[in-house]
Structure 1
Amino acid sequence: MSVEVRPVRGVRELRSFVELPYRLHANEPQWVPPLRLERYLHLGRRTNAFFRRGEAEYLLAYRNGRVVGRISAHIDYRFCEFHRNRWGMFGFLELEDDVEVARALLDAAAGWLRARGREAMVGPMDFTLNDEGGILVEGFDREPLVRQPWHPPYYARLLEELGFEKAMDLLSWELRIEERQKVRPIIWRVAEQLEPRYGVRIRPMSRRTLWRDLRAFGDIYNQAWRRNWGFVPYDEHDLRQLWFELQLTFDRDWFMLAESREGEPVGVAITVPDVNRVLRRMNGRLLPFGFVHYLRRRRLCDRVRVGFLGVKPAWQHTGVAAGLYAALYRSSERTGIGRGEASWILETNSSMNRALDALGGRVVKRWRVYRRVLAGGGGLDGSPS
């Protein structure tokens, strides 16, 4: 039977869009079901700050009336303005192992983007690299941490069969924080000199001041990450959404700011306890018993994910990063959580990759972002730095 692709229209189709991965991956031991309510909020045009600067179309593939795949096509106009390109994105890719389904979905997304003047198609991103991004190409046997996507190996194979090329790899470094002896001694020496030499101290964030601290994070992020591939500046609406999302995972032991003697925020580390251990037990639902598992999250979370760690360019020579690394090790000793992962790290981010190597880390997962020039487009010039 031929494959038909149709846009999502109405509640029933949106439910099919959300539910598809629960059916596809139900028997995969590594896949962790996300919270359904969170998925609806993330996709909602009224609840996701992305739609203040972008637009999207959700598409479903049907064969003989049965949903066999899904994809989004979307445009982030702030991204395109910042990087001076005419890229379009695709995301939320889920499908059966069938090249015809993949072709139909990707062609439909490409057609939607081409009709809006896009010159290249890049993804997956759900909706940006600060959400879930890339297709898993290494680490299939490892359980994902919070907000890390998991895919079976055929996803990458289908994309490559259809002519998609690698745009960028995203790495996850495993850190055995209890293995302090593997850290190169220079890290500790530089960290010890940070306050006496430069007047920089590191303090925990608090839930009471989280909004103020996240505004400081946004300023640091927009300076420290701006040269990274895939960067999109945070604005007030993005930070409001991040503040809302972090309410469920905030932990004073793992959220920290580095401040100068004058009180200027100069560096940040946001590390999230891995609530995937909780989500697995909740099986995508808050009710009837999912909320009980969430209340027990401190007992269930035995690892963390380093999501953001960055320093303002003017302070990168002072050892602020080393001070933040040392603070993470102190948090490990205090909480008893001895392992975690730092992701996503761009394969081209040489300074961060060298630092994680110096901390005794090793790459355990790799996701790939793909790209394809659209017919009649101007190619992939003007790519992010």
Structure 2
Amino acid sequence: MKYRMYMVSIEKVVSKPERKAFISFPSSLYRGDPNWIPPLMMERLEHLSGKNPGTEHIQWQAWVAKKNGRIVGRITAQIDSLHRERYGDDTGHIGMLDAIDDEEVFSALFAAAESWLAAGGTRKITGPFSLNINQESGLLIEGFETPPCALMPHGKPWYAAQVEQQGYGKGIDLLAYWMQRTDLSFSPALTRLMEQTRKKVTIRCINRKRFAEEMQVLREVFNSGWQHNWGFVPFTEREFAVMGEQLKYLVPDDLIYIAEIDSAPCGFIVGMPNINEAIADLNGSLVPFGWAKLLWRLKVSGVRTARVPLMGICKEHQFSRIGPVIALLLIEALREPFARRHIDALEMSWILESNTGMRTILEKIGAKPYKRYRLYEKAL
């Protein structure tokens, strides 16, 4: 099916060649942008297929916009049954938005996405998500001058104005914090609190022999700790199991830590080498020599930056005196293995702008906000 608005043609993405063109479009749009990192085609194709465990609860459709036969924009629309269970049967989402600076293109893309969502009963739209809030989220509105870390989106400066022109308003902002490893420091008062808490809290590495079980422990802590956050959707067992299989090969054991009190898990942290640094010059392909380069860079030569994509403190401890200290102990646990691997800097992301507790902790130990992503909302 095709939608047409003036000189813009909107086409549904259905076949594998069309999905490849959809995935490849941003690389042409961002040509000349030194901060653009092409995603791995293989990984993106799996993301937009039944191999993505999120598709068990997410229905989605993608479109491209064309002018004179050339792709000039793209968008997806999603309906997430888990989101609807929590927030109502009238919710839906948009995502994977990229386009030239042209109001007609944005209008045509959003018309197609909103029409599809409305047909599915949607009256409240949030996003962008790729494909839900537990994957790439937000529209970059500050921080265009640096490349994105792994599993974080990039963007063009005109996106925000074009999205707002379509009637979307701010829902909430997500922040990414940057920290030089050598800047990580704890005040004497924090150090005393951490030493006192060590008597009650055990920080241990993940047990690789029980990796699948350990990942479900992380899932339970995450779902407990994040359940009241804006737009929260729980991870399913299969989603975390698949994520675990990926982390097993990409993240060393001593970069995943679990906090326990009386042998009961109460928090965790994952420090992931910045894969974007390793794939920046591969142009989205692992053939013919991309696999070798990627493995060499991750396992031998190393990368110099990392990202903390997952961290959680159990609900029962979040607002207690001990909760913030558990977070500090988990962050501290990464310092020595990062130093051993010559990882010089890390991104902590993403943090809800409303999460003043975590933001205060990060700023007290030397981290600075350097990117801002916006989640939008609109009532149809």
Q: Please give the TM-score of this superposition, normalised by the length of structure 1.
A: 0.92
1:47 paired to 2:51? yes
Identity of matched residues, %: 33
Matching of residues 4-43 of structure 1 within 5 Å: 4-43=9-48
Contact 2:277 2:305 in 1 (8 A): no
Matching of residues 217-236 of structure 1 within 5 Å: 217-236=218-237
Counterpart position of 1:297: 297
Residue 231 of structure 1: SS of its match in structure 2? Answer: coil
Once the two structures are superposed, residues 181-201 of structure 1 have per-residue CA deviations (whole angstroms, 9 ceiling, x without a partner) of 4x33333222222232x2x21
Residue 247 of structure 1: SS of its match in structure 2? Answer: helix
Structure 2 CA distance, aligned partners of 1:49 and 1:186?
44
Structure 1 CA distance, aligned partners of 2:24 and 2:15?
14
Matching of residues 184-263 of structure 1 within 5 Å: 184-196=187-199, 198=200, 200-261=201-262, 263=263
Stretch moving more, 67-76 or 327-336: 327-336
1:60 paired to 2:64? yes
Contact 1:188 1:326 in 2 (8 A): no
Once the two structures are superposed, residues 22-66 of structure 1 have per-residue CA deviations (whole angstroms, 9 ceiling, x without a partner) of 21112210011111100000000x211122112111111122222
Once the two structures are superposed, residues 224-247 of structure 1 have per-residue CA deviations (whole angstroms, 9 ceiling, x without a partner) of 000111211112111122123323
Residue 60 of structure 2: SS of its match in structure 1? Answer: strand
Counterpart position of 2:130: 126
Q: What is the CA distance between 1:157 and its match in structure 2?
A: 2.0
Count how many residue pairs are aligned between Structure 1 and Structure 2: 369
Distance change in 2, residues 1:286/1:153 (3 Å): same
Counterpart position of 1:378: none
Q: What is the CA distance between 1:147 and its match in structure 2?
A: 0.9
Q: What is the CA distance between 1:222 and its match in structure 2?
A: 1.0
Residue 281 of structure 1: SS of its match in structure 2? Answer: coil
Counterpart position of 1:312: 314
Once the two structures are superposed, residues 118-169 of structure 1 have per-residue CA deviations (whole angstroms, 9 ceiling, x without a partner) of 1112111001222111111101001111111111101112112222211111
1:278 paired to 2:251? no
Matching of residues 133-152 of structure 1 within 5 Å: 133-152=137-156
1:72 paired to 2:76? yes
Structure 1 CA distance, aligned partners of 2:37 and 2:188?
37
Structure 2 CA distance, aligned partners of 1:278 and 1:237?
27
Structure 2 CA distance, aligned partners of 1:62 and 1:164?
23
Stretch moving more, 327-336 or 81-90: 327-336
Matched AA of 1:73: A
Once the two structures are superposed, residues 311-352 of structure 1 have per-residue CA deviations (whole angstroms, 9 ceiling, x without a partner) of 112234323222112212233333332311111100011111
Residue 178 of structure 1: SS of its match in structure 2? Answer: helix
Q: What is the CA distance between 1:85 and its match in structure 2?
A: 5.5
Once the two structures are superposed, residues 199-258 of structure 1 have per-residue CA deviations (whole angstroms, 9 ceiling, x without a partner) of x21111244332111100011011100011121111211112212332342122311111
Stretch moving more, 167-176 or 246-255: 246-255
Counterpart position of 1:381: none
Matching of residues 322-341 of structure 1 within 5 Å: 322-341=328-347
Distance change in 2, residues 1:87/1:302 (3 Å): same
Residue 19 of structure 2: SS of its match in structure 1? Answer: helix
Residue 301 of structure 1: SS of its match in structure 2? Answer: coil
Distance change in 2, residues 1:108/1:54 (3 Å): same
Contact 1:41 1:48 in 2 (8 A): yes
Contact 2:89 2:121 in 1 (8 A): no
Stretch moving more, 236-245 or 213-222: 236-245
Among 366, 370, 373, the residue aligned to 1:367 = 373
Q: What is the CA distance between 1:114 and its match in structure 2?
A: 0.7
Structure 2 CA distance, aligned partners of 1:57 and 1:50?
14
Structure 2's unaligned 5+ residue stretches are 1-5
Stretch moving more, 309-318 or 153-162: 309-318
Residue 253 of structure 1: SS of its match in structure 2? Answer: helix
Counterpart position of 2:3: none
Residue 98 of structure 2: SS of its match in structure 1? Answer: strand
Residue 254 of structure 2: SS of its match in structure 1? Answer: coil
Contact 1:275 1:297 in 2 (8 A): no
Matched AA of 1:99: E
Structure 2 CA distance, aligned partners of 1:270 and 1:304?
10
Residue 145 of structure 1: SS of its match in structure 2? Answer: coil
Among 344, 351, 356, the residue aligned to 2:357 = 351
Distance change in 2, residues 1:243/1:231 (3 Å): same
Contact 1:281 1:293 in 2 (8 A): no
Counterpart position of 1:117: 121
Structure 1 CA distance, aligned partners of 2:378 and 2:226?
25
Q: What is the CA distance between 1:177 and its match in structure 2?
A: 2.0
